[in-house]
Amino acid sequence: MKTKFNVNLKDITKDLSLSKSKAVTKDANGYFRGKLDKIELVEVDYNEQIDINSERTVDEGIKIQLRFNFLLFTEDEGKQIQKVILVGTNLNKEPQVVKYKSRGNKKMKNVFNQFTEICIRLGFITPEELQEYDENLNSKIEKLLQEYNEREEKEKVLIAARFVEAQEARIIDIFQLTKVDKIDYKEDIAKRIQIINEDVNRGLKK
């Protein structure tokens, strides 16, 4: 099931990526810290060959997408690096069956779309809520999207994450992202993400 949300539309015109992301501060396991600064609904014209974080191939047409704007912390306390994740606007209860290529073979795999995934990773919804899906979940997500930008700074979501491996461009890996309670979160982040992945995978097998 897919649901589109009603939030204010903003235009996007140029590449928002920054090339200075090598300066982000990472822990011993390669996880950096940051915060979700704001969420915007944007109109992306792929006919203009806009390159967002150098992570997208050129597509045709105009698409309405949600832009999650993150500020990543660096060694310089007065400086933060901006990174964005662009996702669709559909929350899907049922996983999508997609085809992956692996060593020349084509494999079918169940996945949630990126919007659903990032909502889980940011703590907006839980895998259990998704499995018990009802219309109240739609209202909850829509309210979060509409009200997030009005939060005080201390109430904004803090994250720990890694970049996608083997990519020249620094792209936040949604599947290696988790909400944390504080910037100096000392617990095992990899273990925390593993637990989230296991919860999500159980939902995918339902």
The pTM is what? 0.76
Burial category of 172 from C-beta neighbours within 10 Å (exposed 0-12, middle 13-18, buried 19 and up): buried
How many residues are recorded in the chain?
206
The CA distance from 72 to 183, in Å, is 11
pLDDT-based confidence at residue 59 (cuts at 50, 70, 90): low
Task: Give the pLDDT confidence of 82-102 residue by residue, as tens digits.
Answer: 999 999 888 887 766 555 544
pLDDT-based confidence at residue 120 (cuts at 50, 70, 90): very high
